[in-house]
Amino acid sequence: MEVEVPGKGTVSAIRTEAEGTPNGWVFVYAPGAGARLNDGFGVYASRRLSEVGIATVRFQFPYMEAGKRRPDRNDILEATWTAVLEQVCGDGVRIVAGGRSMGGRIASQVASKEAGIDALALFAYPLHPPYNRSQRRDIHFP
């Protein structure tokens, strides 16, 4: 599946359907900086959640799609999350947004600004940038 990100082209995404009877939840997952679409944690989470009736959508950011190492600016990362959520959301679908490290951080920033996210699941959430403990990354939480 592909998702159009305004001004940045498309990014790849993989949807894993729930096995058996779906329960109406979809976990939308973004990997951490430097990790690709098929990072080990995301693949594992997708498989395990599917077994309990939760569909998943994993995606990567434009910089990884382009084969770059340096993450995009925050506004582009957030726009990517928004584009993915717009494509995934539908009537009766409940959304868990999350990810590992940077992917989860950006999910939480988007959730603090937009409606439509029912829950967050954050893994290895960076409370501050590496080597800069004074800059907090949780001030957007209520």
Region 1-14: mean pLDDT is: 94
Residue 6's pLDDT is: 93
Residue of higher predicted confidence among 132 and 29:
29
Q: Could you tell me the pTM of the whole model?
A: 0.91
Residue 84's pLDDT is: 96
Q: How far is CA 135 from CA 40, 78, 131, 132, 141, in A?
A: 29, 19, 10, 6, 15
Taking Cα atoms as reference points, which of 24, 30, 25, 12 lies closest to residue 122?
Answer: 30
pLDDT one-digit tens code per residue, 21-56: 888 999 999 999 989 899 999 999 999 999 999 999
pLDDT one-digit tens code per residue, 71-123: 999 999 999 999 999 999 877 899 999 999 999 999 999 999 877 899 999 99
Task: Please provide the average confidence, as pLDDT, over all residues in the chain.
Answer: 92
Region 17-22: mean pLDDT is: 89
- Report the first-to-last Cα separation within the chain, whole angstroms: 34
* Contacts of residue 90, Cβ cutoff 8 Å, sequence gap at least 6: none
Question: What's the rounded Cα separation, in Å, for the pair 27 and 20?
Answer: 16
